[in-house]
Amino acid sequence: MLPLLYVAFSALTADPAVWRRLWATRVPELFLNTLSLSLGVAVINLTLGVSLAWILTRYTFVGSKIWDWLLILPLSIPSYVLAYTYTYLLKRGGTLEQVWQTIAGPEAVFFSPFSFAGAVLVLALNTFPFVYLLTRSAFKNFNVSFEEVARTTGADRVTTFFRVSLPLIRPSLIAGLFLAILYVASDFGAVSLLRFQTFTYAVYQQMTGRFDNTAAACLSLVLVACAFVFLFGERWFRQRSRFYQTTSRYRKPVPQPCRPLTALLFTGYLLLVFGAAFGLPVLLLIQWTVKAASAGEISHVFIGYVWNSVSLSGITATAAVICGIPLAYLACRRRTWASTFCVQGAYTGYVLPGPIAALAVLVLVSQTVPQLYGTILVLLMAYLVHFLPAALQGMESTLQQLTPNLEEAARSLGARSLRTFFHVTLPLVRGGFLSAWILVFVQCMKELPASLLLRQVGFDTLAVRIWLEASEELYQLAAPPALLIVVITIPVVLLLMRKDQT
């Protein structure tokens, strides 16, 4: 919260000329780019997410259970890794273009990865699981009577789908799209590698391309303001469109077996999406890693990067959980005006894209404790500002599930409140706190912009290495760290998914 206020302050006290210049040259374009990118991704997400969820909740065929799991895996690929594999796949004369030319003739050209289409494709493939997951659970718990009643009144399948099924899952759909759009707007990795100008990328460029941070702060303020408008808009919309189930008893959909040809068609479609979003990139990474390994390009230096990433992420995750404990406790047990303010303040980190979190911490540190600049602590602070909300959310919901009666029972048995906390509350919520820790750990492993801007000398993380090598288009060198991050992230994604299902 404090860092954000600092950014706002330095933006608002900026020379009006800076504002005028930005307003005249950058802001409209960035706004348009960010908006159109978000919309493009949203449209593809909607199509992919809804169709995949529909297929997998309404039909059974060979392997349909496995697909259920496979389709979440794209979440384990950081956006910049996907972007860099696609710069390879989509480059002129690249694999995809050759395939395309054998189909559409030798003159056919594929769109460049460094374009609007490229950015939309990469980010959509990266974020469609959000929409898919939420839509899927909405379809799974859907009351089929709604569809059947529509059929009996004369609506055919298609009409029923668009007039009844889709409107009814609107809240889930919007929640999924909201997540995806927030992700797109705050993404740095993919847009920087694909050089598509969005607000987040522009903040980074202003920070690295100019000799002062005022312009970056101004752009940040505009973006954060937009994000807030978006957040409140979503909340307002969700409240308006809250639907009530008319009864608690309802018929859940029963997946129908489908004909071999349809099953083949579905499998082909799923294979295409999964291949594009996960299979192909990971195969490429594996191939490059094997090449790099056999060329002896993986040295002890690489182990050093692994260690940097792991230790940094470990410290941040631990710090986030420790900072989160009192905040989550306040949020759940002692709701007062002040505590709500504290907790909501911590949540503002959510709407801060990485470069802005970095900028905020940078500005704060340089004006208060400049001694810290250039040390690892600055990066830790940025991580914390950025990822505390994620930890907090997990911990808060864990604490909420725990009935206060237990604590009151302990108090009635004579335990003081601190003792109660350590002996009763903490042991019981350990599981939830552990998954919060893991969540933050993985987020930190993947974190790019703040690491890039604030890293200490000789303290490159895996993500930074991937980005540096990938922006030089040294595909082989970037592959081993990328593969490692994906491998570390997969179990966590599956773990969170399983919790989601139970």
Q: Which of residues 413-452 bind other proteins (CB under 8 A)?
A: 422-424, 426-428, 430, 452
- For residue 59, list its beta bridge partners: 256
Q: Are 174 and 237 spatial neighbours (Cβ–Cβ below 8 Å)?
A: yes
Question: Alpha helix (H) ranges present in 90-213?
Answer: 95-104, 116-140, 144-152, 157-160, 166-168, 170-186, 189-194, 199-209
213 binds other proteins (CB under 8 A): yes
Calpha distance 216→14 (Å, rounded): 11
Site string for other proteins, 353-392 (x = CB under 8 A): ---------x---x---xx-xx-x----------------
Site for other proteins in 325-354 (CB under 8 A): none
Tally DSSP H helices, then E strands, for the chain: 26, 2
Site for other proteins in 85-114 (CB under 8 A): 92-93, 112, 114
Q: Sign (positive/negative) of CA torsion 467, 473, 477, 478? A: positive
467 binds other proteins (CB under 8 A): no
Q: Are 206 and 213 spatial neighbours (Cβ–Cβ below 8 Å)?
A: yes
Identify which of residues 122 and 351 has a Cβ nearer to other proteins in the complex.
122
250 binds other proteins (CB under 8 A): yes
Query: What's the CA angle centered on 477, arms 189 and 91, to 5 degrees?
Result: 60
Identify which of residues 227 and 358 has a Cβ nearer to other proteins in the complex.
358
252 binds other proteins (CB under 8 A): no
Q: For residue 208, which of 440, 471, 473, 17 has the smallest C-alpha distance?
A: 471
Site string for other proteins, 173-202 (x = CB under 8 A): ----------------------x-x-----
Among residues 203, 207, 357, 399, the one that binds other proteins under rule CB under 8 A: 207
Among residues 47, 208, 287, 344, the one that binds other proteins under rule CB under 8 A: 208
Among residues 42, 48, 125, 164, the one that binds other proteins under rule CB under 8 A: 164
Site for other proteins in 10-29 (CB under 8 A): 21, 24-26, 29
Least distance CB 157 / other proteins (angstroms):
8
246 binds other proteins (CB under 8 A): yes
Least distance CB 308 / other proteins (angstroms):
8
Site for other proteins in 109-128 (CB under 8 A): 112, 114-115
User: Residue 236, Cα to own-chain centre: how many angstroms?
Assistant: 22
Q: Mark the segment that binds other proteins (CB under 8 A) among 59-67, 131-139, 174-182, 307-315.
A: 307-315
- For residue 257, list its beta bridge partners: 60
Between the CA of residue 389 and those of 1, 5, 439, 471, 500, what are the distances in Å?
A: 11, 17, 11, 30, 19
Q: For residue 390, which of 332, 452, 323 has the smallest C-alpha distance?
A: 323
Among residues 137, 143, 339, 476, the one that binds other proteins under rule CB under 8 A: 143
